[in-house]
Every structure is written in C-alpha cells, then in structure tokens.
A and B are shown apart, each in its own frame.
Chain A
Amino acid sequence: MKISEGCNHRCSFCIIPSIRGDLVSRRPDAILREAEKLIEAGTKELLVISQDTSAYGVDIRHQPRMWKGEEVRAHMTDLSRELGKLGAWVRLHYVYPYPHVDQVIPLMAEGLVLPYLDIPFQHASPKVLRSMKRPANEAKVLERLRSWRLIVPDMAVRSSFVVGFPGETEEDFQYLLTWLEEAQLDRVGAFKFEPVSGAAANTLPDPVPEEVKQERYDRVMEISARISAEKLAAKVGKTIEVLIDRVDEVPPPEEGADRGHFDAPHPQHHHGIGATGRSKADAPEIDGEVHLRDAGHLSPGDIVSVKVEDSDEHDLFGVPA
C-alpha cells in the first residue's frame, strides 16, 4: 500500500526526488478504503510503503478526513492505528526516526501494528550522516531503540547502511561497527556507495577506494550475520505466529525418505509435506522465512502457531504447534 509519492529530503546520495518529485500524500480515507477492500478480498498483510513513511501528511498539513464517523488525520500515527483496526498484519516500511515515531510503538504493544520497523539508518557516524544530509540524524537512536524495546520486547528492526560513502574514514566506519554491536538490529542490508548520476554526493571529496569499500562491506555483513544468527537462535524453543506463504506439493525427497513416506501424498496425510511462511519479524522478500515440516494441512494465507526447532543466519525452522 503506497501511502505517498515523492520525498522532501535531499539526501546527497539519492536522486529519487528528481525522479518522483516532492512528497505528495494520499488522503487517509482513500488509503483506508483501499486497505478495507484488500482485506475483504483476502489480504492478510498490509505492507505500508512510501519514500518516507514518517513524513506522511506533512504536505497536506495532516488534514483530517472522515472515516467511519470519526476524523482521521493524515498522520503516520492515526493512519497506522486505523489500518491496524482492520484486522490484517500491518507492517511499516521506510520509517525515518523522527521523534513522533515514538507514538507508533504503543500501537505495536496493543497488537494493532506488527512489532517491526524498517528504518533505513544508512550510517551511524554523525559526520557521515551530516554529509549524507540525512533527516532526523541527531536523534539519539540507540537510546530510543532501548526505550522502544522496553515497550515492545519482541520488536524486530530492519535497516540498511551505505559503506564507503565519500569521506568515510576508518574511524567513522569503526563508529558504525560499534554502533551496530550496540543496536542489535535484527536484519541489516548494506550497500557499497555507488555514485548515481545527478547525485550531490558525487562531487564530495575523498572517495573511498573500491577495495576498501568491499572490505568494509564484508565486515558489516559479518557482524550483522552474527547478530541476526544470535537473535534467531534465541527464538528456538519458542512458539511464534507464522503467516503461510506457500505449501509444498510433495514431500522433499530426502526428508520423505527419512520418515518413510514414499507414496504420493494423500490430502489427509500431511506428514512430510513442508510449507514456508514468515513470522511477524519477516517482511516478504527482504527478510528471512520460517520453514515448516509436517504442514501439508495448511494453506497460503493461514496464520498458525509454530514451535521453532532450529535456526540459521536468516531463517527459522519449525513445526505447527
């Protein structure tokens, strides 16, 4: 669900505002009507997207509209609450850490919004963030992450980072690594800085050599993979909710052989048939998955309790509870 188009920021590495223009927000009632229709048609999960979800409504001065007999402001908090009331999973993407994001955290605690935040931090060093012209970069992010997790202990945070931004020194990079250890993010993506034609960052001094970018990229990914693996390992033995995306048609050969089911599966005979889904911590296609065994009785769209039996760097493995 795209709630707005364009972006008012001018991050120095990004040309999207020149392609898609300044922020233009949709009316909240139009978004909610679309969401309601999607859910009536069977949608189980709403992915809220935009260029900058936290800025939603700034361009229309958060003007309220009537929805189900009440006024709903064109504001991230109001919209998230109303979307949550519709009953589907609501996942917020592209959230910048503005102060008012704090107001969304209680909605997660209430179960209206998934305990998940996709915040593209891009870096941690104040100097690099300034040079990137990132919004909300002075926010005390580590403190706020801690306070959010006090309210929502199982909150998953996904982020992305740029390494090798022009002028990034080894000291800046070390700052990022230390920050990552502290922040304990659940999911991290990293990009090696790449000049984009038309971007202001192209003319910044002190470009980082390719081999240094690669080395920094490898170090970020190594730390992130370890943190992700540790966080996933902590879920083993717990029971979590999983939204099923697909169910295998036949048992995987080696597993089927292990359990002695060589015959074509009977509909009632779901042992040995696997399924794949996602927990509340996993956005489709960008995060991990939950692989289920003995799940042939399930259908895509089912939300089921799953006992987690194993984990790796990205995924969980379990069985319907």
Chain B
Amino acid sequence: METTTLPRPPRVGLVSLGCPKALVDSERIITKLRADGYQMSPDYAGADVVLVNTCGFLDSAKEESLEAIGEAIAENGRVVVTGCMGNEADVIRKRFPDVLAITGPQQYEEVVSAVHEAAPPAPSPYLDLVPEAG
C-alpha cells in the first residue's frame, strides 16, 4: 500500500526574556505559530529558526538580551528578534548583522510573518486549504 508522509512541520526555538508582560507576548506568539502549523523546539539544534523575545528596560537587561541573541546566533544561526529591545534595531544590527528580522513589542503579526519567511511551512495538499498555486 502506498503511504503518504506529511511534511515535517518547521520548528521554532524561543528564548523569552524580561517581565511577565513580555512572557504573555511570547505565549501569544506561540499560540499563533502553533495555529499556523509550527512546532516548538526545546533546543537550539532542533530549531529551524530561533526567536528571541528581548527586554529593553534597564541597560543591564539590554545587555542580557544582546547576549541571548549572540548565543542563539552562535548555536543556531537563524535568529528573529522581537520584544522591547526591537525598538533599538540599529544597536542589534550593528552587533549582529546576521539577524534575520527585528520586530518590536506587541507586533504579533510582524513577528509571525518574519518566522514564516525564515522557516516557511512546506506545502501539503493534505493539509492546505488552498493549493500552492493559489
């Protein structure tokens, strides 16, 4: 019997920094990504893209955010940045020119579409409501 394999869903790693408000933002982003067919990866190695939700409050917190971005770049390489430090895109770009995209706090649509660009879900005629051609 012929068997059909569904495409492996893309996997997203998430590093969530900062306050509980930022944590809720991370949860909302995860909800949207899961609804779009993504799976979460608990480690850098298994992730197709790593999302870093940053804190931009105290300078010490910004430094921690930059370190987390650096770690994600070193461990995975494909990194999307979001959250409160996303308002300082130039600072992030200067230190990490390889970051794929930078979005700000509460920009759920922007960050989700950045993930879609970085790790597009493979088309599947069994899952997609609309054929690839549109």
Residues of A whose CB lies within 8 Å of any CB of B are 1-2, 5, 15-16, 19-20, 47, 49-51, 93, 194-197
Interface membership of B24, Cβ < 8 A: yes
Which residue of the partner chain, among A5, A15, A194, A197, contacts B106 with CB atoms under 8 Å? A5
* Residue B84, interface by CB 8 Å: yes
Residues 32-65 of B, flagged 1 when their CB comes within 8 A of A and 0 if not, give: 0000000000000000000000001111100000
By beta carbon, the residue of chain B nearest A47 is: B20
**Given A20-B84, A20-B106, residue A194 in contact with residue B21 (CB < 8 A):** no
- Asked if B105 is at the interface (CB within 8 A of a chain A CB), the reply is yes
Inter-chain CA distance A119–B62, complex, in Å, is 25
Residue numbers in A under 8 Å from B87 (CB-CB)? 19
Question: Cβ of A194 and Cβ of B105 under 8 Å apart?
Answer: no
Which residues of the other chain, B, contact A195 by a CB distance below 8 angstroms? 59
Provide the residues of chain B in CB contact with A1, threshold 8 Å: 24
Contacts of B56 in A (CB 8 A): 19
**Given A5-B106, A19-B84, A20-B106, also A196-B58 (CB < 8 A):** yes
Interface set, chain B 87-121, CB cutoff 8 A to A: 87, 104-106
Chain A residue nearest to B27 (CB atoms) is A2
Cross-chain contact B59 with A93 (CB below 8 angstroms):
no
Distance of A15 Cα from B58 Cα, bound (Å): 9
Task: Place the interface of chain B in its size category.
Answer: 10 to 19
Partner of A49 from the list B24, B58, B105 (CB cut-off 8 Å) is: B24
- Name the residue on B nearest A191 (C-beta): B58
> With contacts A194-B58, A194-B59 known, is A19 near B21, CB below 8 A?
no
Complex: how many Å from CA A194 to CA B57?
Answer: 10
Q: List 6 A-B contacts (CB under 8 A).
A: A1-B24, A2-B24, A5-B21, A19-B87, A20-B84, A49-B24
Q: Which 7 A-B pairs have the closest CB atoms?
A: A2-B24, A49-B20, A19-B84, A194-B58, A20-B105, A19-B87, A19-B105
A109 to chain B, nearest CB (A): 26
A141 to B54, CA, bound (A): 34
Whether the Cβ atoms of B57 and A16 lie closer than 8 Å is yes
> How far does the Cβ of A28 sit from chain B's closest Cβ, in whole Å?
17
Contact status A194-B60, CB under 8 Å: yes
A218 vs chain B, min Cβ distance (A): 18
Whether B57 and A196, one on each chain, are in contact in the complex, defined by CB atoms closer than 8 angstroms, is yes
B25 CB, min distance to chain A CBs, angstroms: 8
Point out the residues of chain B lying under 8 angstroms from A16, CB to CB: 57, 84
- With a cutoff of 8 Å between Cβ atoms, the chain B residues found around residue A197 in the complex are 59
Chain B: CB-nearest residue to A16: B57
Interface centre among B59, B60, B104, B106, by most A CB within 10 Å? B106
Contact A2 B57, beta carbon cutoff 8 Å: no
